[in-house]
Structure 1
């Protein structure tokens, strides 16, 4: 059974690239290009990991992360925040914070390492 990953980014090219890379690694990947339906998609898809962009076209991904991390059914799903802002490491210490952080632009090997690290944790 393959692990399931939900990738959320408002850039179609980025979610397409993430999907291709991770499906190549044997993961089942679902993608969203806005933050409006994240909790619904989590309920339906039941991901083992969520890759979540910080800025989602007017919606703050950090708020979505907090909603996931405080939700009784979803709080144990690891969340890796993705952003072009490189100063988000301090987010990792706050309540409702992501499990890890990936800076854009990311290289393929770095993305794969971050994903594998979450599954190894």
Structure 2
């Protein structure tokens, strides 16, 4: 079964490029261009991982990430934050409880490796929880 990735970015060009590339790599992709639609799409789509921009129209991806961690049903979904802004990686991850952070522009193969790594960690956690 294909792993499901929810891409959240308000830049249509980024969303399209990420969606196309993730599809090529064998992922099922759902896209959202508004931060206020994230929770609705999580319920409907049930993603295995969320790839989210920090600066969304009217919302901050770090705030959304913290909210996801506070809800039992979404607390274990790995979130990789992306941004073209000048953020310190460690600080951003600690403040938001994100699994990873990658600066724009990024190499697609680097992003894919990070996605695969986070999915493998989540899968191992699921196996341990099920045991």
Q: TM-score, structure 1 length as denominator?
A: 0.94
Question: Which stretch shifts more, 26-35 or 83-92?
Answer: 83-92
Name the counterpart of 1:37. 37
Distance 1:88 1:50 in 2: 20
- Give the Å deviation of 1:58: 2.0
Q: Give structure 1 stretches of 5+ with no counterpart.
A: none
The answer to whether the 8 Å contact 1:65/1:98 transfers is yes
Q: Which secondary structure does the structure 2 equivalent of 1:80 belong to? A: strand
Matched, 1:56 2:89: no
Name the counterpart of 1:87. 87
The answer to whether the 8 Å contact 2:35/2:58 transfers is no
- Give the Å deviation of 1:106: 1.2
Matched, 1:5 2:44: no
RMSD: 1.1
Structure ID, larger Rg:
2
Distance 1:31 1:2 in 2: 16
Q: TM-score, structure 2 length as denominator?
A: 0.87
Q: Give structure 2 stretches of 5+ with no counterpart.
A: 122-131
- Give the Å deviation of 1:16: 0.5
Q: Which runs of 4+ in 1 moved over 2 A?
A: 85-88
**Which structure has more helix as a fraction of its residues?**
2
The count of residues paired between Structure 1 and Structure 2 equals 120
Name the counterpart of 1:98. 98
- Give the Å deviation of 1:37: 0.9
Matched, 1:78 2:78: yes
